[in-house]
A and B are shown apart, each in its own frame.
Chain A
Amino acid sequence: MNDFIPAFDWTRVVIDPWAAQFESSFWIVLMGFLATAACGLIGNYLILRRMALVGDAISHSVLPGLAVAFLFSGSLQIGAMFAGAIVAGVLTTLLIELIHTKSRVKTDAAIGITFCSLFAIGVILINVFAGKIHLDTECVLYGEISYVPLESSVKWLGGAIELGPRPVVTMALVFLAVIALIVVFYKELLVCSFDPTLAASLGFSPKVFHYGLMVVLSVVVVSAFESVGAILVIAMLILPGATAQLLSPRLPVVMVLSVLAAALSSLLGYHLGVWMRCSIAGAMVVAAAALFLLVWIFSPEQGLLQRWRRARRVDDGGESRIEENNGYSS
């Protein structure tokens, strides 16, 4: 090992976090899991609807929403925070659509215009009202998951039950809400994402579900924000879903797999962060990316290795997938 990569010390990297610093390790890994899983579940719909860029947009444009919420309420209470994020999220979606439908600007360009402008407004607001808005731009961008265990604890029943640090409790509630919404609206979300025209003809307004999805996305992003930051949230939105979709052709299985990918990314990322003495959130994203890479190469159905093997089999004149697919033509 050289000076840049710390030596891999088994005790320091693997044992100590769960022995000496159990409490803080537990909350950090749990927070990482909850944030990644909530983002991953919503992200699955973004990927399927070809809206990955919209996730990018909303994670940035939530910033002015937070700044304005701060200005109005004087502190960042959870209610004000969510309200600010939802307003910003819906506004972003509306603006993108407005620019796209009322001009010749195409959707991707409209997304770029909207979120960068809103983000810039957020930066200016925070600078101008620095005395009133206590938002650390650095923290908003990169997040600081290591501070999570230090946050004040949420107490229940007059302090009889201590639930855990505030951000973790919030994230857990948001995660459960996301699962509940997906379960309740599973068929509506499915038909609106797969075939919006049919959905509309059946009486399920794709527009309503589109905006609903954006509202939930804004809430998820803003609650994951503090710990992983605006930039890494984008990775959390896309990576678990992309990994899971390479593994299974069935949406319910994909959902479960993306939660599993989230758990693995968080755990492995945490240890990577401890080892490298670097940003834990950053390490979690790197772990998620590594998982994607592994799956991309080794996935039993769609992996690179499998593709390569199949191509070779066709060259050899053996049984090919193409033949199998077209076997039924009458």
Chain B
Amino acid sequence: MKEGELESVPALETHDLSVAYHKKPVLYGVDLTIPKGQLVGIVGPNGAGKSTLIKAVMGLLPLRSGWVEVFGQPFKKTKTRVGYVPQRESVDWDFPVNVMDVVMMGRYGKLGLFRRPKKKDRDIARECLDKVKMLPFANRQISNLSGGQQQRVFLARALAQESDLYLMDEPFAGVDAATEAAIIELLKELKERGKTILVVHHDLTTAREYFDSMVLLNMRVVAFGPTEQVFTVEQLQKTYGGRLTLLSDVAGETERQLSGE
């Protein structure tokens, strides 16, 4: 938390946010107000604009309409308070860098232009690697990592950004069960320290268990609110449309758990 900042200022607020690729709308009219200290899942079918939403929040895509505020200010002013975990496949893992080099990139934003990482930055990077249990791999070339290890490195890099709001694009995709458990534990710890975390997630079976609140997204916000209110068969049907045939079992299961526990 930043000193002098009102508790009531939301971590993230978007209003009427619309994005289009080549004139084809991908997101429209997204209104979200995400209070501080929440672990929020963004769920929706492929092509629903989940990654687009995250990129639009960080100002990486031109907006067709609407605005974004992070901690009550435009992203440009608060970018050092935002940490980002991109999709694992978005980078070339044959790049000639080691684990430590990648985690150090998380410090670059706070350093700014010209300044070089100091010992303090190195210590922070080490701590973050230790938190994801990857410290013994600090000098390992990144191409020699398993999928789960790569994801942990990305997570350590985001931790090294020392942010208040974290935006994570599918951090659970293609990782082993142990890594998945380690990541969710870490996210809960971050939340307890007052951080806000937005996670793009695709696995409906674990979604209900992981997140306090949820954004159901399919080009527009279908539903947004506390998980128990939002994560219902009806809302999921609306989000996934006809594609929910297979998923309805999952949703049915969830419904039963919600009502019958």
Which residues from chain A sit less than 8 Å from chain B, CB to CB? 48, 50, 184, 187-188, 190-191, 193-195, 197-198, 200-204, 245, 248-251, 254, 325-326, 328-330
Do B79 and A203 touch across chains, with their CB atoms under 8 A apart?
yes
Do A197 and B86 touch across chains, with their CB atoms under 8 A apart?
yes
Given A184-B114, A201-B82, A328-B137, are A249 and B143 also a contact pair (CB < 8 Å)? yes
Do B60 and A195 touch across chains, with their CB atoms under 8 A apart?
no
Interface residues on chain B, number (Cβ under 8 Å): 39
A204–B96 Cα distance when bound, in Å, is 21
Q: Which A residues lie within 8 Å of B79 (CB)?
A: 201-203
A189–B60 Cα distance when bound, in Å, is 18
A194–B76 Cα distance when bound, in Å, is 22
Do A194 and B146 touch across chains, with their CB atoms under 8 A apart?
no
Please choose the segment from B31-39, B87-95, B231-239, B253-261 that sits at the chain A interface, where 4 or more of its residues have CB less than 8 A away: B87-95
Given A201-B60, A250-B98, A254-B96, are A187 and B82 also a contact pair (CB < 8 Å)? no
The digit string for B93-113, where 1 denotes a CB below 8 A from any CB of A, is 001111001101100110111
Q: Which B residues lie within 8 Å of A248 (CB)?
A: 96
A204's partner among B108, B116, B148 (CB-CB below 8 A) is: B108
A251–B137 Cα distance when bound, in Å, is 18
Given A194-B92, A194-B102, A325-B144, are A200 and B60 also a contact pair (CB < 8 Å)? yes
Additional 14 contacts, C-beta under 8 A, given A194-B95, A198-B84, A203-B76: A188-B108, A190-B97, A195-B90, A197-B84, A197-B86, A197-B90, A198-B86, A200-B58, A200-B60, A204-B113, A251-B96, A325-B145, A326-B146, A328-B146
Q: Which B residues lie within 8 Å of A50 (CB)?
A: 92
Q: Which B residues lie within 8 Å of A201 (CB)?
A: 58, 60, 79, 82, 84, 109
Do A195 and B143 touch across chains, with their CB atoms under 8 A apart?
no
A187–B112 Cα distance when bound, in Å, is 10
Do B176 and A195 touch across chains, with their CB atoms under 8 A apart?
no
Q: Is B178's CB within 8 Å of the partner chain A?
A: yes
Given A194-B91, A201-B82, A249-B98, are A330 and B60 also a contact pair (CB < 8 Å)? no
Do B108 and A202 touch across chains, with their CB atoms under 8 A apart?
yes
Do B113 and A188 touch across chains, with their CB atoms under 8 A apart?
yes
Q: Which A residues lie within 8 Å of B146 (CB)?
A: 325-326, 328-329
Given A201-B79, A201-B82, A329-B146, are A194 and B97 also a contact pair (CB < 8 Å)? yes
A48's partner among B95, B141, B143 (CB-CB below 8 A) is: B95
Closest 3 CB pairs of A and B: A202-B109, A249-B141, A330-B178
A251–B146 Cα distance when bound, in Å, is 21
A195's partner among B82, B86, B109, B112 (CB-CB below 8 A) is: B86
A188–B105 Cα distance when bound, in Å, is 9
Q: How far is the CB of A55 from chain B (nearest CB, A)?
A: 18
A188–B90 Cα distance when bound, in Å, is 18
Residue of B nearest to A49 (CB): B92
A330–B105 Cα distance when bound, in Å, is 25
A248–B94 Cα distance when bound, in Å, is 11
A202–B101 Cα distance when bound, in Å, is 16
Q: Is B117's CB within 8 Å of the partner chain A?
A: yes
Q: Is B55's CB within 8 Å of the partner chain A?
A: yes
Q: Is B18's CB within 8 Å of the partner chain A?
A: no
Do B96 and A245 touch across chains, with their CB atoms under 8 A apart?
yes
Residue of A nearest to B134 (CB): A328
Do A329 and B98 touch across chains, with their CB atoms under 8 A apart?
no
A330–B136 Cα distance when bound, in Å, is 13
Q: Which B residues lie within 8 Å of A187 (CB)?
A: 104-105, 108, 111, 116-117
Q: List 28 A-B contacts (CB under 8 A).
A: A48-B92, A50-B92, A187-B108, A187-B116, A188-B108, A190-B97, A194-B91, A194-B92, A194-B95, A194-B97, A195-B86, A197-B60, A198-B86, A198-B157, A200-B60, A201-B58, A201-B60, A204-B113, A249-B97, A249-B141, A250-B96, A251-B101, A325-B145, A326-B146, A328-B137, A329-B146, A329-B176, A329-B178
Q: Is B149's CB within 8 Å of the partner chain A?
A: yes
A248–B141 Cα distance when bound, in Å, is 10
Q: How far is the CB of B200 from chain A (nearest CB, A)?
A: 14
